[in-house]
Amino acid sequence: MRARNPEYVVDVAIGSNHSRGTAIDVTLMDEHNNVLDMGAGFDEMDDRSHPYHPSVPPHAQRNRLLLNAIMFGGGFVGIGSEWWHFELPNAASYPFLTIVSPVFR
């Protein structure tokens, strides 16, 4: 079993911005509910997951840029290690949630 890389996985004892309700993991789907190719899998913990990694094919990079445009236009910011992760500016300044919410697709 591989050790958890802190670049991608936060210690649950510390919590993450997801635990504050200020972060979301998201991808894009086409009109037929097919997930668009982003050049690396959702939650793939590899350098190819970095938003602007040079090994990502041009068509997947365009999909990432489209996702960025949508999310940045909505006021979110990205992080350098995960193309799918977006959060509110100053996300860490919010308190941790004390409720559990469902995951939606």
Tens of pLDDT, residue by residue over 64-105, are 999 999 999 999 999 999 999 999 999 999 998 887 666 655
CB 51 within 8 A of CB 84: no
Q: Which of 7, 31, 44, 82 is catalytic?
A: 82
Number of domains in the chain: 1
Q: What's the whole-model pTM score?
A: 0.82
For residue 65, is it within any domain?
yes
Please determine, for residue 7, whether its predicted confidence score (pLDDT) is greater than 90: no
For residue 98, is it within any domain?
no
Tell me what pLDDT residue 1 has: 43
Which residues is 77 bridged to in the sheet? 87
Tell me, what CATH number does 80's domain have?
3.30.1380.10
In whole angstroms, what is the distance from residue 84 CA to residue 36 CA? 12
* Confidence band of 5 (pLDDT split at 50, 70, 90): low
Task: Print the domain residue range for 71.
Answer: 18-93
Active site residue 7: no
In whole angstroms, what is the distance from residue 93 CA to residue 72 CA? 19
For residue 99, is it within any domain?
no
